[in-house]
A = this chain, B = another copy of it.
């Protein structure tokens, strides 16, 4: 959750003067998103989410993200559509910071997803991969596999502080991931953060996805691996194979995985756990100043790494 930027009424008035959405009726900071500030804005013409981009988002990437959101909305995918100002431009500024308005989505996130919801998650992710196909934007995965060794190079002391002996273990993982990482998987636009906070349901059906600010061009199966890690571990640390089977089955209803993708999934899931372990370790070692966020526990993903290191089956056979 995060509301970093205080928007005063003069700044809001100046911002809304560039739109044709009527006068404001309600405006509230909301606890959504981790790398930007979000506000619920109600006007005479409807309800919107105002997003103000903070330092953590590279402003040069914003046209890619907003273009993707526009593309997905036009393709009928249930995600927020950017609302352009009178001049047709969706990326604007408020109080000197980049900002955008998008349509408000209903739907509820699920704190604890059961097997049925995991199948819906898989369907929602495959639908996203389908809907994004053809999007001409390209963005390298700046938190992808070829960055992990460099990221960890600065985090050795933090890792040992977190758990003595961890540097040697992680170095071993990094070697194994680098040696085995598949180069030939189908690429596309991936969400890269399809976590419970970012997925909405309605009546136990996938309803919408939000927060495309980690989206990038990478292997589609890697997005499945990130999503398996986010949804299929139980709170006590065990991997729930019934959930992972359901998630993959839901995915394959819309987009069947190739044999190569299927075989790569265990290593991709090991790598996906590495990516979230590394950013959480970095946030834990260097908490953002003034952030209204409690850093997420890096040990959660250290335990997920251990599960994948030991070679868990994701499908019920190996």
Contacts and interface: CB of A to CB of B under 8 A. Distances in A.
Interface string A218-244: 000000000000000000000000000
Interface stretch (A23-31, A50-58, A134-142, A279-287): A23-31
**Residue with the greatest number of chain B CB neighbours at <10 A, chosen from A30, A108, A110, A203:** A108
Would you list the 6 A-B pairs with minimal beta carbon distance, nearest first? A29-B31, A8-B111, A25-B106, A3-B31, A28-B30, A26-B106
A34 interface: no
A1 interface: yes
Contacts of A290: 294
B9 A112 contact: yes
B10 A111 contact: yes
B9 A111 contact: yes
B30 A112 contact: no
A32 interface: yes
Given A8-B112, A25-B108, 18 more contacts: A1-B29, A10-B112, A24-B108, A25-B106, A25-B202, A26-B105, A26-B108, A28-B30, A28-B31, A28-B40, A29-B30, A29-B31, A29-B32, A30-B30, A30-B40, A31-B31, A40-B40, A290-B294
A107 interface: yes
Interface in A286-300: 290, 292, 294
Contacts of A1: 3, 29, 292
Nearest to A26: B106
Contacts of A110: 9
Contacts of A3: 1, 31
